[in-house]
């Protein structure tokens, strides 16, 4: 009896993890075939309708991405999330935001040298100060923000 319940449980597991379909892009050899029957060819969708729709979708994605990138960076919030723990307290010798002497000393090396330290990390500061979503321009904005307060 135990053997048949184990076999049923195994079959149930196999049914639950069995693929139910596949993703196939235009131009790939799998386009036109139905799932589970590689030798049976189904009629492919008309590209005359799909191509303009794909172009519109791509255009909308580009517009949304560009708008999001412009509006998304909030220097104050990013400072609070990624920089404040050290640059608000001076932890591990980090220059505190608003400490003009500490920032002037670092800025005498030039923005390129400061940015190299920001991007690569320096001493206890990890690369990008743990703001992995920040672009180099975002990081430079953060440095300017902290050094000018």
pLDDT digits (tens, 9 = 90+) for 109-128: 999 999 999 999 999 999 99
- Beta carbons within 8 Å of 145's beta carbon, 6+ residues apart: 75, 76, 79, 97
Q: What's the pLDDT at 9?
A: 76
CB proximity list for 102: less than 8 A, separation 6 or greater: 95, 96
pLDDT number for residue 93: 92
User: What confidence category does residue 16 fall into, taking pLDDT thresholds of 50, 70 and 90?
Assistant: confident
Residue extents of the structural domains in the chain: 1-41, 45-72, 75-148
* 75-148: in CATH 3.60.110.10: no
List, for residues 46-77, the tens digit of each pLDDT value. 555 556 666 666 665 565 565 555 567 899 99
């Amino acid at each position: 009896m135990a053997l048949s319940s184990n076999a049923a449980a195994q079959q149930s597991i196999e049914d639950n993890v069995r693929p139910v379909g596949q993703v196939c892009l235009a131009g790939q050899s799998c386009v036109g075939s139905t799932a589970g029957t590689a030798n049976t060819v189904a009629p492919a969708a008309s590209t005359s309708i799909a191509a303009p729709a794909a172009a519109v979708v791509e255009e909308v994605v580009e517009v949304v991405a560009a708008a999001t990138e412009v509006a998304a960076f909030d220097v104050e919030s990013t400072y609070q999330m990624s920089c404040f723990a050290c640059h608000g307290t001076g932890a591990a010798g980090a220059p505190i935001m608003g400490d003009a002497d500490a920032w002037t000393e670092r800025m005498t090396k030039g923005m390129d040298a400061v940015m190299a330290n920001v991007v690569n990390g320096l001493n206890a500061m990890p690369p990008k100060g743990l703001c992995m979503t920040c672009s180099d321009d975002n990081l430079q904005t953060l440095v300017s923000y902290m050094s000018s307060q």
